Structure 1
C-alpha cells in the first residue's frame, strides 16, 4: 500500500476489492435477512412499543389484539425478540462478507441502511420513551414556558403524553436548536404526542443520513475501508434500535459532529466548526468535539501557537452561534445548569455508579447508609479522570488523528460517566470506526454492540412497555 500526506490526515490507498456478488444476490443474502429482522421489530413495536394513550394509534382488529390482550402482547414480544436476534445476525454476517470481499461499494450499504430502516419509521418507539420527554419540552416551548426552568408537570395532562414520571419535574438538558424544533413540531402536530414523536424520529433519521455520508468521507481521508467503517459505525443494530426506533436526539448530534469533521478535512473549517456547534446545540455534550476540530484545522504537527489560534477561532464561531440561538429561542443559556439532569439515574452500566452501588450495598449491611455518598464520590473521581484524559488528548504533542481523539474523548465520557445508556456508545463508535481501529479494538466494539443490543432488548421487555 502507498501513502501520501494531506496535511491533517494521511490517506492510504486501499487494495482492490475481490469480485462482488451480483446486486440480486447481495440483496437476497445481505439485505433481506436484516429487513425481515426490522420488520419483525416493527411488528412487535405495535404491541409492546411505547404508546402515549390508548386511542393514539389506529386500531384495526389485529392491532387491537396486539395492544390489548395477553396473547397479543406475548406474540408482539416474541416478534420483537426474534427480530432483534435476526437483525444482529444479519449485521454480523454482512460484516463477515465485507471482510472477505474487501468491498468498498458504499451504494449497496446505503441501500441496505434505507431498507432496514423502512419498517421502523411509522411504528411506536421502542427501548426508551425519552422521545415523549422531547414532546413535553416542545409543548412547554409552545406554551410559553422555559424548559430550562420548568418541568413537564406544569402542563395539564402531561401524563397522557407518555413522559416518564422520573422526569416530571426535570428541566431540559438539551440545546436550543433541539428546543426550537420541539416548538415547531408542537405547532404542527397540536395535541398529538405520537405525531410529534414521529417528527422527532424524522430528525433522528436525518442525523443517521448525515452520518452515512460523513463516516465514509472521514474513512477515506484516514485510509480506512469506507464500507467497513459504514458497516460498523452506521449500519450497527444499535442505530436501528435507538436512533431509528427510539428516535434519540443523539443521532442528530453525532451526525452533525461527524459532518463537521468531514468539512474540516475537506478544507471548510468554519462551516465544519459551525456544524459541530449546531450538534452541541442539540445535545451540549457535543461541545467535547470542539477542541479536536481546532486541532484538525491546525493540521498535523502544527506549532502550539497555531493550535491555540485555531482554538480561539473555533471558540469564537461557537460562541457567536450559541449567543444567537440563546436570543432566537428565548431560553438563554439555561442548559448550562441543566446538563446534570441524567445523573439522577442510577444504572449498572455506569462503572463509577456501579462501583458505588456495589460497595454501598456491602457497607450498608452494617447500617451505615452510605450508598448515595459512595456513588457521588465515585462519580466525582470518574469525572475528574475523564476530564484529565480529554485534556491529555488535546494537549499531547503530535496528535496525528484528532477525529480518533474526539472518539476516544466521547468513549471516556461514556465509560466514566455518571449515567450510561446503551445508545451512548454511538457517540464515539462512528468516529472511531472511521479512523483505523485495530483488530482488537474492532472486536471489542463488536462485542460491545452485541452486549448492548441484547441488554436493550431485555431491559425493554422488563420495563413492560405498552400504553402509558
Structure 2
C-alpha cells in the first residue's frame, strides 16, 4: 500500500525541470504529441463544429475547406490520425520515462500544456455542447428559466449551432455554470467565436485546477505526482474532451479534486464549499459529498461521528445550493433536469443497449417500446444509485478514495448513455488510488484507446451535401487501422497490449 501522509506540499525537490531533459528520450514523445495535437487542430478547421450563425461561415478560406469533399476527407484524416498519434505519444512517454521520480511535476504539466495549446485556435471538435452552453447563456440573459425552457425558446436558435437533441431539453447543469454561461454571453457580445474561446479558457482553468489538485493528492497518498499527472491531465482523453471539445466536465472535475484535496488536509468546510461548486457545474458530483463526510470523520470513526459529519457536510452544501437557487430564482430546477441524459442510449452502455433491444422486440410484438425501454433504463439508474450507496456505507472510513471511484463507476456504467468524457472522472479518481502495473494499467490503456476512438469517430461537422456516412467511415477505418497497428505490429507499443493477444500454440 502507498505511504499516506496527513498533508501535502507542492514544493517537490526534483532536478529535471525541462521537457528537453526528460529521461529515456521522453522529450521525443512529448514533441510527437505536440505534432499530433497540431494535426487535429488543423483538421478541426475543416470538420470542427461551425455554427450556421458564425461570422466565419462566409469567409472564402472556410468555404473552400468545407465545400470540397477531398479537403473534408483530408481534414478528417488529420483529426483521426492526430488523435491516435497523440495516444501513441502518450503511451511512449510512459514507456520512455523509466523513473518518474526524476521528473519534476511541472515537466508533466508543460507537456500537457503543449498538447492542449493547438486546440485554442480551432473550432470546437467532436462535440457541439459548447453551443448549447451559449444558448443556455442567452436563455439566462433573456430572463428565461433554462430548467423549464430549451434553447428552442430563442429566436433563430438553430443559428447558434446546438445539437438538435438538446434544443428542447432543459439544462442538466447547476446554478454556478448557468452564471458562467450568462457571463460568457455578456462578455462575448453576441459573437459565437469569442464565446467558445471564452468557454475554452474556462475549460483550461478546470484543467489547471485538476493539475494542482493531482499534485497535492498524489503527495498525500504517497504516489508519484509526475506519473499521476501523466495518467490524468496529460492523458489524450483529458486533452481531447476537455480542451478540444470544450466540456464543462473540466471545471466540474477541477472543483471536485480541489475539494478532495481540502478534505484530506483537514479543511472540511472548504471541502464542502468546493465540492458544492463542482455540483453547481454538474450535479453528478453530489456522489462525492458523503465521502467528504467520511474523510472528515477520520479513520476508525463510529457510526455516530460518521452520521454527524454526513449531516454537517450535507447541510453546508444544501445551504449553499439554496442560496444559489434563490439568487437565480430557479431554485432546485436542476434536480428533475438531471434525468435528461437518461433519455438517450448508446451501444456500448449495457443498459442502453438492453433498453434498445427490448424496445425493438416490444415494437415487433405490438407493445409499447418506449415504456419497456424506459423501465430498463430506470432499473439501470436504480442499480447505479444503490451501488453508489453501498460503497458509501460499506467499509467504514477505510479506502475512501477507492470506494468513491467505485461509486462513480457504478453510476456511470449503469447509465443508458456513457459519453467519452464521463470516463475522465473515473480515470482521475482511480489514478489517485494508484494504478498498479499489470491488468490495472492495461485496463487504463484500453479505456484510453477505446474512448479516444469513440470520440474521434462520433461527431464530425460537414455540409449537408457531403455524405456524412462516408466521412465517418474514413475516420472509423483509419482509427481501427491505427489501433491495430499499435496493438499488433508496432514493436514499441504492442508489448503494452501483449496480454490481450492470444499466444500461438507451438507446432
Fold match (TM-score > 0.5): yes
CA contact (8 A) 1:215 1:431 kept: no
CA contact (8 A) 1:4 1:10 kept: no
Q: State the partner residue of 1:391.
A: 389
The alpha carbon displacement at 1:352 in A equals 0.5
Which of 415, 424, 427 lines up with 2:425 in the alignment? 427
Distance 1:465 1:194, change over 3 A: farther
Distance 1:190 1:5, change over 3 A: closer
CA contact (8 A) 2:261 2:271 kept: yes
Q: State the partner residue of 2:164.
A: 165
Distance 1:128 1:214, change over 3 A: same
The alpha carbon displacement at 1:101 in A equals 5.3
Q: State the partner residue of 1:135.
A: 134
Deviation digits for residues 238-265 of structure 1, max 9, x if unmatched?
1111110111111111110011001111
CA contact (8 A) 1:256 1:278 kept: yes
Q: State the partner residue of 1:151.
A: 150
Deviation digits for residues 53-79 of structure 1, max 9, x if unmatched?
265238765444223322221221111
CA RMSD after TM alignment:
2.7
Structure 2, unmatched stretches of 5+, are 466-507
Q: Say yes or no: does 1:378 pair with 2:393.
A: no
With the length of structure 1 as denominator, give the TM-score of the two structures. 0.91
C-alpha separation between the residues in 2 aligned to 1:209 and 1:465? 35
C-alpha separation between the residues in 2 aligned to 1:20 and 1:298? 41
Q: State the partner residue of 2:208.
A: 209
Moved more, 96-105 or 196-205: 96-105
Q: Where do 1:334-345 residues align within 5 Å?
A: 334-345=333-344
Q: Say yes or no: does 1:48 pair with 2:61.
A: no
Q: State the partner residue of 1:328.
A: 327
SS of 2:121's partner is: coil
C-alpha separation between the residues in 1 aligned to 2:149 and 2:408? 29
CA contact (8 A) 2:387 2:411 kept: no
Q: State the partner residue of 1:418.
A: 416
Q: Say yes or no: does 1:457 pair with 2:449.
A: no
CA contact (8 A) 1:109 1:227 kept: yes
Q: State the partner residue of 1:65.
A: 64
Distance 1:83 1:305, change over 3 A: same
Q: Where do 1:273-422 residues align within 5 Å?
A: 273-362=272-361, 364-365=363-364, 367-369=365-367, 371-422=369-420
Moved more, 272-281 or 211-220: 211-220
C-alpha separation between the residues in 2 aligned to 1:210 and 1:153? 34
The alpha carbon displacement at 1:400 in A equals 1.9
Q: Where do 1:57-96 residues align within 5 Å?
A: 57=56, 62-96=61-95
SS of 1:347's partner is: coil
C-alpha separation between the residues in 1 aligned to 2:405 and 2:340? 23
Q: State the partner residue of 2:242.
A: 243
Distance 1:170 1:3, change over 3 A: closer
CA contact (8 A) 2:4 2:222 kept: no
C-alpha separation between the residues in 2 aligned to 1:2 and 1:418? 35
SS of 1:92's partner is: helix
Distance 1:24 1:295, change over 3 A: closer
SS of 2:146's partner is: coil
Distance 1:433 1:99, change over 3 A: farther
The alpha carbon displacement at 1:374 in A equals 3.4
With the length of structure 2 as denominator, give the TM-score of the two structures. 0.84
SS of 1:144's partner is: coil
C-alpha separation between the residues in 1 aligned to 2:435 and 2:309? 27
The alpha carbon displacement at 1:100 in A equals 5.4
Distance 1:19 1:215, change over 3 A: closer
Distance 1:266 1:213, change over 3 A: same
Distance 1:109 1:59, change over 3 A: farther
Q: State the partner residue of 1:272.
A: 271
Moved more, 107-116 or 351-360: 351-360
Distance 1:388 1:460, change over 3 A: same
Distance 1:4 1:162, change over 3 A: closer
Q: State the partner residue of 1:190.
A: 189
Equivalent pairs counted in the alignment come to 460
SS of 1:434's partner is: helix
Q: State the partner residue of 1:35.
A: 34
C-alpha separation between the residues in 1 aligned to 2:174 and 2:216? 27
C-alpha separation between the residues in 1 aligned to 2:74 and 2:187? 35
Deviation digits for residues 283-307 of structure 1, max 9, x if unmatched?
1111111101111111122111111
CA contact (8 A) 2:174 2:279 kept: yes
C-alpha separation between the residues in 1 aligned to 2:463 and 2:264? 43
Q: State the partner residue of 2:446.
A: 447
CA contact (8 A) 1:292 1:406 kept: yes
CA contact (8 A) 1:44 1:79 kept: yes
Distance 1:466 1:235, change over 3 A: farther
CA contact (8 A) 1:357 1:374 kept: no
The alpha carbon displacement at 1:81 in A equals 1.5
Moved more, 19-28 or 422-431: 19-28
